[in-house]
Amino acid sequence: MDREQAMEMAQVVLEASEADQTEVILSASQSALTRFANNAIHQNVAETVVQASVRAVVGKRVGVVTGSDLSPEGLRQLARDARDLARVSAPDEDFVSLPGPVPYSGETDFADPATADFTPEGRAEGVRLAILAAESQGLTAAGAFSTGWSSTTVANSLGVATYQCRTQAELSVVVAGSDSSGYARTAAAQVSDIDAAALGETATQKCLTSRHPQEVEPGDYTVILEPEAVGDMIMMLSMYDLGALAVQEGRSFMAGQMGQRVCGTNISIWDDGHDPRGLRMAYDFEGVPKQRVNLITDGVAAGVVWDSYTAQREGRSSTGHALPAPNHWGPVPINVFVATGDSSLGEMIANTEYGLLVTRFHYTNMIHPIRTVFTGMTRDGTFLIRDGRIAAGLKNLRFTQSILEALSGVSAIAREGQLTDYVWCPAMKLDAFSFSSATEF
């Protein structure tokens, strides 16, 4: 679905709609996934998905329908169904209008041809490289290698007409032994940025180093979090606290705290859909250009992200952070960046007398958004640090920790970072992190 095709289909919906206002989102994607386990590929799948989502506005009533029949009649039927649904929906007195067009002259094509055209044979070769180190040590590797291309078109009856496309690749590797495991992953816009052999080697070394894991008592520890763990923590904060709806509804720590210090002065967090280190986006799902938004600057609450709904409630402008309707989350930052420091993972370990090193978190959940308390477990590489070196592998621990309290005691930040889903971030050393219970594995 190129821009011309998408705009023609969008126009069919807009011309057929009898609602006061109408929005159509056309999504098209081609994705492929190669899974492997026990050092062998066991699944290769590929799919092409196209769909249309239509939002109709009748007065203060809004209806949204989604379908995959993109024939002219199928699109017209979606327009009728959305209008009919809007007519019987409860009015939303806070709804003002869909957004109008906003000038934008930046880049909208973020697709890498080599990634879009990457073959099953190419992924198979990546898997082969990823499992070499595990095989050589008598260990087993599992994981997934995915590549894909997607486009998003947004048009509405007020004149919005946007199109963007991008590619994405990801390889994750888990290497397991009899009583230990190790993990490594890379996500990128270009498949050429994925070093499969290096990921396999990293996961293998973590598995070997964590053999015969020891136990430690739950409690507060100095902790070094690798980027995967930092990214998980920051994404929790972003989802629950750094959007305007959460502030308006009083369920975010940012409510009443703008301009106040909320964490350590060495912490800066922002959202930027145009930064090439992330998975770039020119527009949000309302067709509004994305703006860079400073969320926390030098430890001070600086701002939150807005969509048209939350912005119009307060006479503001959207920052380009709408998610597809219907959306109970409100606007969410999904291109998040964390400022780097002047250290490295090796230096952090060398400068730690006694503490823990955590590769990644698992099964994280927010318990108390206002206090930013979240919980989860460590996984695939938890280590004891003693006298500046990794002394042993550890059995996994469950944590219950305030994110802002953790970010108030960051004593070192790495100078390099990596992309972890929606967050680009460095490793961090935290003076205190609370582990609430232990496990048997």
Q: What element of type H or E holds 8?
A: helix 3-16
Residue 206 lies in a domain: no
Q: What is the dihedral of CA 411, 412, 418, 424, to 10 degrees?
A: 40
Pairing of strands 423-438, 336-338: parallel
305-327 pLDDT, tens digit each: 999 999 999 999 999 999 999 99
The answer to the question of residue 336 being in a domain is yes
Mean pLDDT of the residues in the chain? 97
Domain identity same for 299 and 346: yes
Same domain, 238 and 380: yes
Task: Output the pLDDT for position 131.
Answer: 98
Q: What is the mean pLDDT of residues 133-160?
A: 98
Question: In the listed set 167, 198, 229, which residue is the last one of a domain according to the structure?
Answer: 198
Write out pLDDT tens, residues 99-110: 999 999 999 999
Question: What is the per-residue pLDDT across 163-211, written as a single tens digit (0 to 9) for each?
Answer: 999 999 999 999 999 999 999 999 999 999 999 999 999 999 999 999 9
* Averaged pLDDT for residues 57-65: 98
Task: Indicate if 40 and 159 belong to the same structural domain.
Answer: yes
Q: Is the pLDDT of residue 215 over 90?
A: yes
* 269 in the same domain as 128: no
Same domain, 332 and 355: yes
Residue 1 in this model has a pLDDT that exceeds 90: no
Query: Is position 49 within any domain?
Result: yes
250 and 180 inside one domain:
no
> Tokens representing 15?
């011309």
Asked whether residue 421 carries a pLDDT value surpassing 90, the answer given is: no
Q: What percent of the chain has pLDDT over 70?
A: 100
| pLDDT of the residue at 440 | 87
2-19 pLDDT, tens digit each: 999 999 999 999 999 999
Tell me the CATH number at 51. Answer: 3.30.2290.10
Q: Are residues 152 and 277 in the same domain?
A: no
For residue 328, the enclosing domain spans 213-441
Mean pLDDT over residues 133-137, rounded? Answer: 98
The secondary structure element, H or E, covering residue 438 is: strand 423-438
Nearest to 364, CA basis, from 350, 378, 352, 383: 378
Residues 16, 39 within the same domain: yes
Regarding whether 125 and 10 lie in a shared domain, the answer is yes
The answer for residues whose C-beta is within 8 angstroms of residue 42's C-beta and 6 or more apart is: 35, 36
With respect to residue 203, please indicate whether it lies within any of the assigned structural domains.
no
Residue 337 lies in a domain: yes
Number of domain units in the chain = 2
Q: Let me know: does 295 contact 241? Beta carbons within 8 Å.
A: no
- Summary count for the chain: helices (H), strands (E): 10, 18
Q: Are residues 150 and 228 in the same domain?
A: no
327 within a domain of the structure (yes/no): yes
Of 175, 198, 221, the position where a domain reaches its end is: 198
